[in-house]
Structure 1
């Protein structure tokens, strides 16, 4: 983890309002130091210098994260916090991350402002609008809507925050809602989140009917708008249909290999290969208890990198990136509280694993890329290979997808 960026001016979300008057005064988790620092890297002085240099100088992009701060006491305060529709952004933590850009997928499955079911159109717009109103009051994060924004962030030592959504469930059967989301600044969107919707099937369903006719219309519209498409949570057949129907490469923004860890939450190598053949990229996932491996069944950076080395062998290093899917707070506790909304049981299936309190080395957005780059440095990857997987591969796809 780095020191805060010199371009970062300390800022706390919604500080223009009065806590306890304009919104509930809920104690939030620490952005830095909530869990012990990762001790799995044993870098020499030269390797540390190279790691920090690559992190500061490269275009470093998280393809999927939730860089919000969650309540310190999830059991007591989580539902009340979400009901406010006012998530706090982890500005300080992000300023230490070294990232050039982060794809922020906001509340998504926990977007339960008015309904425990989540994914409602008005709730999603509320969520996006509230976050953007806060973003407009600070000067470190840039709202990322184009490659020019990401490049400007890099040149200025700042960070671009790109809004994404893990599913298009909230558009229902209204394809023009994609245009509205694009107008709000959304530049990446998933097809389905575990549960089937009007577009296609999610990974939790017993049967996968594939991409619907409406789903084909929606994919075409996403291509026309310049929205990057994500199939991380879609069923296998739906994923293949999207890859085939899309005129542009697609992403798996946060996933791993089912051949390494056999759960529905991972994708089969055949589907990952089909995506790569059309030019797409997979971002490796690090949400708790997802990208495990037989060699490292206690979830850690090493588990995730087992998926990395496997997929580099399967599809080539030019099709692999990172979408850690982290947040500031107790991610395991969040999963426990929202297991139904997030389809945790169906995602894991019957595969047993040892529950961990956090993912060691990839616990929050502030630490992920220092540790990822440090691991790559310590395993003798070249500077060009490292730059490719921490951002270059994503840029290549966005050059084709975005306008």
Structure 2
């Protein structure tokens, strides 16, 4: 089964058809970035409507068993996720509320500090707040996976330690291989792996550097990451942004918190949306990633683990055993 740890595309029927053409068994989708609780509820409703209109191609999964059932039916399982915890609005009870609505993945912080902890771009990281510790505990209890992709170093380390179950970095790379604030230290990645977590290796140009050149250089990035933390803790996290336009990018980077230009993982010299990778323009190219890994010397079982098996094991351990519909 092919699994993508995170995408932030503007999904429609065409993009869903691309998922099927790429034989994606499961994808974590981004429901929001800066939205408050009411806006986030609207986003969940919008996703339900979208999935209902395309039920022949996709379905929302809330358990690992549902992922497998949906994939077996010839459709792609969608895990609903948020790239920030702003949907909680400072209310601990909203973790369970959104979990009951089917949300299964949440990043603790996005690109600025919040009431849970610090982001990777904050100059000072005070670690998990008192509220943040309770949020992690509630996410564990309700079966919502903790994502540390944009989270600061100290906050991430404390989240790994405080969590009762494995946590994820759904879309980033080792900073020792590609130095960037959005990438993760060896210390953090080794701690994550020691607790059973998974890193989704990304080909996003801004955080992949020279490894984004070809599918084969991306496979080299995967190989060096596996050497660092072990093959069992490496997956794919494309961070693909199909049909994302300038206004979407501006919202991701600026939200409502600033009037000044923000570049996210880019820079003033590289401010815009990154062009599609010629070797990975959309998810129809997923089989090509498996082929690149095989060319690089990965065995059949290793390819299967990286391309989806490790994520599925993680979901079996972290997501609830019973459906949100029960």
TM-score (structure 1 length as normaliser): 0.72
Deviations 1:87-110 (A, max 9, x none): 77722222212111111113x23x
| Aligned match of 2:16 | 91
| Aligned match of 1:126 | 42
1:223-242 aligned at under 5 Å gives the runs 223-242=140-159
Q: Say which of 269, 273, 277 aligns to 1:359.
A: 277
- 2:206 counterpart SS class: coil
Q: Cα 1:268–1:336, aligned 2, differ >3 Å: closer, same or farther?
A: same
| Aligned match of 2:239 | 325
Residue 200, structure 1, aligned to residue 117, structure 2? yes
Q: Cα 1:196–1:242, aligned 2, differ >3 Å: closer, same or farther?
A: same
- Going by fraction, where is helix more abundant, 1 or 2? 2
Residue 311, structure 1, aligned to residue 201, structure 2? no
Q: Cα 1:125–1:288, aligned 2, differ >3 Å: closer, same or farther?
A: farther
Deviations 1:18-69 (A, max 9, x none): xxxxxxxxxxxxxxxxxxxxxxxxxxxxxxxxxxxxxxxxx21111113424
- 1:68 counterpart SS class: coil
Indicate if the aligned counterparts of 1:251 and 1:281 stay in contact, CA closer than 8 A. Answer: yes
Measure, in 2, the Cα distance between the counterparts of 1:207 and 1:346. Answer: 17
Measure, in 2, the Cα distance between the counterparts of 1:124 and 1:239. Answer: 24
| Aligned match of 1:78 | none
Measure, in 2, the Cα distance between the counterparts of 1:279 and 1:91. Answer: 30
Measure, in 1, the Cα distance between the counterparts of 2:296 and 2:225. Answer: 16
User: 1:288 offset after TM fit, Å?
Assistant: 3.8
Q: Say which of 281, 301, 317 aligns to 2:198.
A: 281
Indicate if the aligned counterparts of 1:172 and 1:198 stay in contact, CA closer than 8 A. Answer: no
Q: List alignment gaps of at least 5 residues for structure 2.
A: 321-326
Q: List alignment gaps of at least 5 residues for structure 1.
A: 1-58, 70-86, 110-117
Q: Cα 1:305–1:348, aligned 2, differ >3 Å: closer, same or farther?
A: farther
| Aligned match of 2:5 | 63
Indicate if the aligned counterparts of 2:9 and 2:243 stay in contact, CA closer than 8 A. Answer: no
User: 1:134 offset after TM fit, Å?
Assistant: 2.2
Q: What's the Cα RMSD here?
A: 2.6
* Larger Cα-atom Rg: 1
Q: How many residues are treated as equivalent by the alignment? A: 315
